[in-house]
Amino acid sequence: MTPRGGIDQIDGVEDGVLRARVAAPPVEGAANQALLRLLAAELDVPRRDVRLIAGASGRTKLVAVEGIEPEALTERWPGLRI
């Protein structure tokens, strides 16, 4: 994830990892929350179903998404490592 990326958007998959940018700064969890909102919107699931599991202070995150099958994720973002 790239904080202060100017816009909230998914940039695609690179080396099995989903690349995203958010406009929010990495202050007090604002960028993490923006990322979770972005993923929920992209996947059309409630925000409460998207949780940050690991990586709160780094650029690489581990996120859990409930209410969606793994196949749907790889169909949406081919090459994504789950």
Report yes or no on whether pTM surpasses 0.85. yes
Q: What is the mean pLDDT of residues 64-81?
A: 94
Domain assignment present for residue 4? The answer is no
> The domain that contains 36 carries what CATH number?
3.30.1200.10
**CA pair distance 57, 34, nearest whole angstrom:** 14
Domain assignment present for residue 3? The answer is no
Residue 47, domain extent: 9-76
Domain assignment present for residue 1? The answer is no
Q: What is the number of structural domains in the chain?
A: 1
20 or 5: which carries more pLDDT confidence? Answer: 20
* Predicted pLDDT at 2: 79
Q: What is the mean pLDDT of residues 36-53?
A: 97
What is the CA angle 32-38-25, rounded to 5? 40
What's the pLDDT tens digit per position in 16-35? Answer: 999 999 999 999 999 999 99
Domain assignment present for residue 81? The answer is no
Is the CB of residue 31 less than 8 Å from the CB of residue 12?
no
* Predicted pLDDT at 30: 95
Comparing C-alpha atoms, which of 45, 11, 40, 8 is closest to residue 24? Answer: 8
